[in-house]
Amino acid sequence: MTNPRFVTCREAAEKCGFASCISIPLRDDKQIFAALVIFDAKPNVFDKGRTLLLTELAEDLSYGIQNLRLKADRKQEIEKGLMLAAVTEQTSDGVITFDASGTIEYMNSSFIKLCGVPADEGIGVSIHDFECSKRNPEFYQAVRETLETKTMRVGRFVNKDRSGNEHDIDARIAPVFEKSGQVGRYVVTVRDVSQEVQLQRQFRRIQKMEALDTLSTGIAHDFDNILENIVCNSELGIIADAADRPVQENLFQILKETLRGKELIKSFKIISQQKEQPQQQIKISEVVSDSIDLLSATIPSIIKLKKDITPGLGLVAGDPTQIHQVIANLCTNATDAIQATGGMLEISLTNMIIPPEWACHYPNLTPGEHARLTITDTGHGMDREDLERIFDPFYTTKVQDNGRGLGLSMVHGIIKNHGGEISVNSIVGIGTTFIILLPVIDPLGEQKPILQK
């Protein structure tokens, strides 16, 4: 009743009939977080013995409350972690984390798919010994720089998976700092941008071809007229100088080279697509089979030829001679790539349906039924630099004097002129695959309806 520390609560205590009180702080490691307050109707109840006992009780209460709070915090952290893990696992971006020493802690399914290494072969392994790091030195170098400087790295890299397939990726390699200021772990996120890069390459190729169209269209017409005059005059000279053999031989040589020049002009016209789209209806299965039969006699015995032609695929609007030229050119290139060591040349023709929802993957094709011609070899393959320029005029991977670099440009022009699409995949040391898609028409020349998958 006289203690000044109870002035603020004395009136309320009297109303309740309280005559004594004890207040003991509840502490954690850092601060007082609460108080244990006990009232009694009797005065001077809390003597030294009871105070000691209640102080011990307060310590026990403090410990118990801290544990409950830790459990609640841990539960909340676990729930957050599970939610984050679910989001990370479902994202299309690849995610890999490793601790401050470089030991891999986590890889999500997208990263596993992109890298081609199972989780049990990655988690617990040092990033320096990681299989994916050894296959991709540029990406690994960026990881090392982040480890050394503890600063974020962002860039575009080429990622090669376990099967040898290459993907263009955008990567972000960043340290995660703890409250102490030390790096706790590193997080790497990667995104497959191969499709975007491929579209950019196609756009650049279209720009190149358009520039060539403008150039070749103007040159081809005038130069063809010049060569035609040389041919006519050479032929007249040969007839007029029939008795003069040396003169005739010179004129024959002029005529021969001039005719080669006219053939070159034809190549330019095909590349620049000056011809209208062919409207002749051809049975694509028969054309491909006939082309293979003609080529099989010229293929060296060291090369195994395998063919898989689906009969009765329908009609294609095209020129059978030009289709044969496409097959001959691609098979000749494949033979050149294989003949040094031997291997297999595989040619297949199947049916393929392009539904409307795939339009973004085939922007130059109409949805519907297509004939899919695939030519695969097990030769030396091509690197990315060659693949980017493979259809460029005058670009060749063959040794000097073994090619003019117009063959694949002509193939590209012919397929485009047929309303089709051609693409190529290649892995150095494994081989190359060309895929050609040509729209199938019905006997009336109309696009067939889309078949249900």
Give residue-wise pLDDT tens across range 82-140: 565 555 555 668 888 888 889 988 888 888 888 888 888 888 999 999 988 888 888 89
DSSP string for residues in 194-259: HHHHHHHHHHHHHHHHHHHHHHHHHHHHHHHHHHHHHHHHHHHHHHHTTT-HHHHHHHHHHHHHHH
| 233 band by pLDDT with thresholds 50, 70 and 90 | low
- Give 246's contacts (C-beta < 8 A, 6+ positions apart): none
Quick one: pLDDT at residue 122?
A: 87
| 274 band by pLDDT with thresholds 50, 70 and 90 | very low
Stretch 275-280: mean pLDDT: 57
SS3 assignment, position 192: strand
Mean pLDDT estimate for the chain: 79
The residues with which 189 forms a beta bridge, in sequence order, are 95, 172
pTM, full prediction: 0.50
Question: What is d(CA 408, CA 271) in angstroms, rounded to the nearest whole number?
Answer: 9
Give residue-wise pLDDT tens across range 45-75: 888 888 898 888 888 888 888 888 877 777 7
Quick one: pLDDT at residue 446?
A: 46
Quick one: pLDDT at residue 372?
A: 93
Say if CB 327 and CB 291 are below 8 A apart.
Answer: yes
Stretch 201-226: mean pLDDT: 65
Question: What is d(CA 398, CA 262) in angstroms, rounded to the nearest whole number?
Answer: 24
The residues with which 438 forms a beta bridge, in sequence order, are 371
Quick one: pLDDT at residue 447?
A: 45
Query: Which range, of 110-119, 122-131, 191-200, 271-280, averages the lowest pLDDT?
Result: 271-280
Which DSSP state fits 366? -
- Please, is 17 exposed, middle or buried when counting C-beta atoms within 10 Å of its C-beta (0-12, 13-18, 19+)? exposed
H or E segment to which residue 105 belongs:
strand 104-107
| 8 band by pLDDT with thresholds 50, 70 and 90 | confident
The answer, yes or no, to whether residue 353 has pLDDT greater than 60, is yes
Stretch 258-283: mean pLDDT: 64
SS3 assignment, position 261: helix
Which DSSP state fits 305? E
For the ranges 120-134, 202-216, 312-326, 396-410, the one whose mean pLDDT is highest: 120-134
Q: Report percent pLDDT > 70 for the chain.
A: 77
Question: What is d(CA 52, CA 50) in angstroms, rounded to the nearest whole number?
Answer: 5
